[in-house]
A and B are shown apart, each in its own frame.
Chain A
Amino acid sequence: QKEVEQNSGPLSVPEGAIASLNCTYSDRGSQSFFWYRQYSGKSPELIMFIYSNGDKEDGRFTAQLNKASQYVSLLIRDSQPSDSATYLCAVRDSSYKLIFGSGTRLLVRP
């Protein structure tokens, strides 16, 4: 069974620090990788996606992909209290389905 694993947290960081969120996946055939942010009681919001090995930066966010290690991460620079949320990692398989991890809860302390 295809799996996506995330540490449930909470990951607690002080305001202004770098938050590092990690995700591993089991299916080597996975093609695309996504990070969603979900505030409590709300629906997930797409933050970033990455297809190729390496880093992809978008503002304060950087996604990192290592297909050989089956590992994807999200870095949030200059973390703000408004970044406090659950971050869901999702992996797309060859059938266009997304497989989600259970999420990591991030808490940014003022």
Chain B
Amino acid sequence: DGGITQSPKYLFRKEGQNVTLSCEQNLNHDAMYWYRQDPGQGLRLIYYSQIVNDFQKGDIAEGYSVSREKKESFPLTVTSAQKNPTAFYLCASSDRDRGYNEQFFGPGTRLTVL
């Protein structure tokens, strides 16, 4: 099955800890994205990457970091500098051959800071 996987599904973090959220895709898509969703809100872009070893900040990158060492993987680290990290985190990917138009989402990781 082709798709996007995210792990873990639920994650609990103590204040002051860094945590890394996993995102893997086997769709052979070039671009990958990380979004954050707060209750009753739309999605806000954290980081995105269109090619391996390159990524750009989105609208709310402060307190987050990413890497793109492999085409299929785009992990997100939520650092202790992120002041309000409790949210639903969504990873997406899109295909360069389709103009990066259609983004497909993974199932998400729900992060709670205790």
Contacts and interface: CB of A to CB of B under 8 A. Distances in A.
Q: Does B associate with A?
A: yes
Interface of A: 4, 8, 32, 34, 42-46, 49, 88, 90, 92, 96-98, 100-103
A103 B94 CA distance: 21
B85 interface: no
15 contacts: A4-B42, A34-B101, A34-B103, A43-B105, A43-B106, A45-B105, A49-B101, A88-B42, A90-B43, A92-B101, A96-B48, A96-B50, A100-B35, A102-B40, A102-B41
Interface in B21-68: 31, 33, 35, 40-45, 48, 50, 58
Contacts of A8: 40
B69 interface: no
Contact of B31 (A96, A100, A102): A96
Given A44-B105, A98-B43, A98-B45, 17 more contacts: A34-B101, A34-B103, A42-B108, A43-B105, A43-B108, A90-B43, A96-B31, A96-B50, A96-B100, A97-B48, A98-B33, A98-B103, A100-B42, A100-B43, A100-B44, A101-B42, A102-B42
A46 B103 contact: yes
A102 to B, nearest CB: 4
Contacts of B42: 4, 88, 100-103
A101 B101 CA distance: 17
Nearest to A101: B42
Interface of B: 31, 33, 35, 40-45, 48, 50, 58, 90, 94, 99-108
Given A4-B42, A97-B58, A42 B101 contact: no
A110 B31 CA distance: 41
A47 B105 CA distance: 12
Nearest to B108: A43
B58 to A, nearest CB: 7
Nearest to A98: B103
Given A96-B50, A97-B58, A44 B43 contact: yes
B107 to A, nearest CB: 5
Contacts of A97: 45, 48, 58
